[in-house]
Chain A
Amino acid sequence: MAPPNSDFTTSCPISITSHDFVTLAHGGGGRMMHNLLERVVIPAFGNQPLESRHDGAVLTVGKARLAFTTDSYVVHPLFFPGGDIGTLAVTGTVNDLAMCGARPLGLSAAFILEEGLPMATLEKVVASMARTAKAAKVGIVTGDTKVVDRGKGDGLFINTAGVGVIEHGLVIAPTSVRAGDAILLSGDVGRHGVAIMAVREGLQFETTIETDCAPLAEPVLALLAAGIEVHCLRDLTRGGLATTLIEIAESSRLHIDVGEREIPVEENVCGACEILGLDPLYLANEGRFVAFVPSGQADKAVAILQSHAVSSRALRIGTVGERPDKLVTLLSRIGTRRMLDMHSGEQLPRIC
């Protein structure tokens, strides 16, 4: 290698990763958010369910097992093509329960309303929540309402918590993933992220791209009812498919191989991503999940998923490898390999 060139000094503008204040990047689902959880939150609360780092906690009550989860919804704008904050608030929590293999029993809904929020807005959101809960076959059984001064909230924040009953004997978590497992994806990716970004950043497209927000309990329960030995489930939220796979690789301490050609992306989502310089693998979804099942059951599992509307395009996208290196490798569409890593914060549109 040539000796270092003393005429050039490097002053490398690598992103700052340590901050004294919370920034938006900390909520982006990327490396910064993970560091926040790992350094500040999890060590403070330290307990086993939390440390399994799954979408929900599994609690034992006598002989029964319950799944318990919570999520807060701060999406802006409140209304976007195909949904609103209310739809998300119900679907998101129902889906987290589904990812534990649980049948939703009941949800709570806590509202933080900003002074001056139009009543009509609240009514629309509540109606959405009622509709979505009915479709997901779960009741919103308890809740809370608070109002904050004008300027102290983004119009409306919602927290939902959910309890579900686990009617199977499996431990569905990254720790159950095994080398050789098939990785299944329930459908095309990137829609929700593009739908939100289009409205939020004022990056309107003349063709409306709608969110993929949808409840996922049915196909999951169908898999379990058919006796599929589901090892792990996770819905793809912020940070997208890539981040989800990286999280699971890290928690399960195994290697994951997926193929770019297998991952479906709608043509108009592709177009939007090309214009904005976004990678659909890192965009948020609200109605898609990955499932890790033993290789021998993959075909049967895919068939079951495809028989449900929300997962009609389900397919196998990869395999869990032998090497315990916690990395994710993508086989690109031109036949080369690259490692996927988390972005530091939320993906931003670029021109470079």
Chain B
Amino acid sequence: MKFVDEYRDQEKAEQIAQAIARITTRQWSIMEVCGGQTHSIVKYGIDELLPKQISLLHGPGCPVCVTPLEIVDKALQIAARPEVIFCSFGDMLRVPGSGGDLFSVKAKGGDVRIVYSPLDALKLARENPQRQVVFFAVGFETTAPANAMVVFQAQQQKVANFSVLVSHVLVPPAIAAILSAPDNRTQGFLAAGHVCTVMGFEEYFQLAEKFHVPIVVTGFEPLDILQGILMCVGQLEAGRAQVENQYARSVQRQGNRPAQALMSKVFRIVPRKWRGVGEIPASGYGLSDEFSAYDAELRFGVAGHHVDEDSECISGQVLRGVKKPQECPAFGVRCSPERPLGATMVSSEGACAAYYQYRRRQPDQNG
């Protein structure tokens, strides 16, 4: 596939890795804030290619995993209603709420459907006028344009039986929260390339300056990630803290203007709770007043419901044998170099399950 295969070349991967090794003189901890990048790093074993001094940390980059418990519970409540067709991206189906997940709601008779695009949910609403179709609008800024468009089109086409349960989160406030924590170990960031495709990277200059960290906007293929790391280490070794763009084939400084225009019409910035982190001000999107008629929380009367976040790690309940929260690889703030996995357990669950079940045994390095 064009613009994909070229970025998965073994020889070039090794060369970039060697280039990183040549310039690395000390320990560096670099965080990526995107589940897709974590997935790629695990799938291609990129950490194996890096010199031992480079530690890859995995940030709260999977919107699936940071979706607050109370939103998941609202989703489960709404999906259980007989008149509702509840549509969601596949990622969310197995995320546990306080009692069960969307799969178990389906098992008990709820009409839960996976969609590839929010437009598929709107189509279902038009085709099923006697049912209420609800779309679970989860994601970072990458997915916000799609979700904004579907609400905009619903209003234009006057599809009254459609609504969205919104749980959008924003990356820059999360980075700021991570960097502000007293025990922060992150020295450099790989910014999420598709988030920046939509938003541009203007917002990152002040972060780089305030916290003195290099931020490199990075793509998702193995060569992209390796080049992003090379650029980041280059800055760290030189004591620089600038914003650079590795993913220039997709990302422009100002981002996607038409997308941003629609998003600012349909959404407004709100505080959001991040699962396992707590509330971060101005870190999410909610529907603007003009579109509040499409807000599922209001339509189904579940707004204002609060769940106290269980401070005990849920993995303790489900996985007997994981002893302490600090051994949980979620969120990367605590992850150790020899256990680099992060928060994408649900969406790239195969990799994470392997690490848990086999207690992170590494396969033999010999050829």
In the complex they form, whether A and B have CB atoms below 8 Å apart is answered with: yes
Residues of chain A touching chain B, judged by Cβ–Cβ distance below 8 Å, are 1-19, 21-25, 31, 201-203, 242, 267, 270-271, 274-277, 279, 282, 323, 325, 327, 329, 332-345, 348-352
Docked CA distance A1–B333 (Å): 11
23 contacts between A and B (CB under 8 A): A5-B334, A9-B276, A10-B328, A11-B311, A11-B312, A12-B314, A12-B328, A13-B314, A16-B96, A17-B318, A23-B103, A201-B116, A276-B116, A327-B361, A336-B44, A338-B44, A341-B358, A342-B353, A348-B90, A350-B91, A352-B62, A352-B64, A352-B139
B344 x A334 contact (CB < 8 A): no
Q: Which 9 A-B pairs have the closest CB atoms?
A: A336-B45, A348-B90, A341-B354, A5-B183, A4-B326, A11-B276, A352-B347, A12-B315, A329-B363
Chain A residues with CB under 8 Å of B279's CB are none
Shortest beta-carbon distance from A280 to chain B in Å: 12
Shortest beta-carbon distance from A154 to chain B in Å: 14
0/1 string, B325-367, CB within 8 A of A gives 1: 1101011011010000001111101111110111001011100
Q: Given A334-B8, A337-B365, are A10 and B276 neighbors across the interface (CB < 8 Å)?
A: yes
A16 x B318 contact (CB < 8 A): yes
A336 x B49 contact (CB < 8 A): yes
Residues of chain B touching chain A, judged by Cβ–Cβ distance below 8 Å, are 1, 4, 8-10, 13-14, 35-36, 39, 42-46, 48-49, 62-65, 67, 69, 72, 89-91, 93-96, 100-101, 103-104, 106-108, 114-116, 120, 139, 143, 181-185, 222, 275-277, 309-315, 318-319, 325-326, 328, 330-331, 333-334, 336, 343-347, 349-354, 356-358, 361, 363-365
Shortest beta-carbon distance from B367 to chain A in Å: 9
- Which A-chain residue is minimally distant from B339 (CB atoms)? A1
Q: Given A5-B183, A11-B309, A332-B43, are A23 and B104 neighbors across the interface (CB < 8 Å)?
A: yes
Q: Given A12-B330, A15-B318, are A352 and B91 neighbors across the interface (CB < 8 Å)?
A: yes
Q: Given A332-B44, A352-B91, are A15 and B183 neighbors across the interface (CB < 8 Å)?
A: no
B96 x A15 contact (CB < 8 A): yes
Q: Given A5-B333, A334-B222, are A323 and B4 neighbors across the interface (CB < 8 Å)?
A: no
B344 x A352 contact (CB < 8 A): yes
A335 is contacted by which of B14, B36, B182, B352 (Cβ under 8 Å)?
B14
Chain B residues with CB under 8 Å of A337's CB are 45, 48, 363-365
Chain A residues with CB under 8 Å of B8's CB are 333-334
Docked CA distance A17–B353 (Å): 11
B319 is contacted by which of A14, A25, A325 (Cβ under 8 Å)?
A14
Task: Work out how many contacts link A and B, with CB atoms closer than 8 A.
Answer: 219
Chain B residues with CB under 8 Å of A9's CB are 276, 309, 311, 313, 325
Shortest beta-carbon distance from A300 to chain B in Å: 26
B350 x A282 contact (CB < 8 A): yes
B107 x A22 contact (CB < 8 A): yes
Docked CA distance A154–B262 (Å): 42
Chain B residues with CB under 8 Å of A282's CB are 350
Chain B residues with CB under 8 Å of A10's CB are 276, 313, 315, 325, 328, 330-331, 334
Majority DSSP secondary structure for residues of A touching B: loop
A343 x B183 contact (CB < 8 A): no
Chain B residues with CB under 8 Å of A8's CB are 181, 276-277, 331, 333-334
Chain A residues with CB under 8 Å of B276's CB are 8-12
Docked CA distance A44–B81 (Å): 37
Shortest beta-carbon distance from A15 to chain B in Å: 4
Docked CA distance A352–B220 (Å): 12
Docked CA distance A341–B350 (Å): 6
A350 x B89 contact (CB < 8 A): yes
Q: Given A10-B313, A352-B64, are A21 and B104 neighbors across the interface (CB < 8 Å)?
A: yes
Which residue among B69, B181, B183 has the maximum number of chain A CB atoms within 10 Å of its CB? B183
A12 x B345 contact (CB < 8 A): yes
Shortest beta-carbon distance from B25 to chain A in Å: 21
Chain A residues with CB under 8 Å of B106's CB are 23-24
- Which B-chain residue is minimally distant from A22 (CB atoms)? B107
A349 x B90 contact (CB < 8 A): yes
B314 x A334 contact (CB < 8 A): no
B318 x A11 contact (CB < 8 A): no
Chain A residues with CB under 8 Å of B14's CB are 334-335
A24 x B345 contact (CB < 8 A): no
Q: Given A3-B183, A4-B334, A201-B114, are A332 and B349 neighbors across the interface (CB < 8 Å)?
A: no
Chain A residues with CB under 8 Å of B319's CB are 14, 17
B354 x A344 contact (CB < 8 A): no
B315 x A23 contact (CB < 8 A): no
A21 x B48 contact (CB < 8 A): no
Docked CA distance A222–B222 (Å): 42
B42 x A333 contact (CB < 8 A): no
A339 x B358 contact (CB < 8 A): yes
- Which A-chain residue is minimally distant from B226 (CB atoms)? A334
Docked CA distance A187–B44 (Å): 23
Chain B residues with CB under 8 Å of A15's CB are 94-96, 101, 318, 345-346, 349
Q: Given A14-B315, A17-B318, A352-B62, are A342 and B350 neighbors across the interface (CB < 8 Å)?
A: yes
Chain B residues with CB under 8 Å of A332's CB are 43-45
Shortest beta-carbon distance from A171 to chain B in Å: 29
Docked CA distance A6–B311 (Å): 11
Docked CA distance A327–B313 (Å): 28
Shortest beta-carbon distance from B327 to chain A in Å: 10
Shortest beta-carbon distance from A251 to chain B in Å: 16
Chain B residues with CB under 8 Å of A16's CB are 94, 96, 100-101, 104, 318
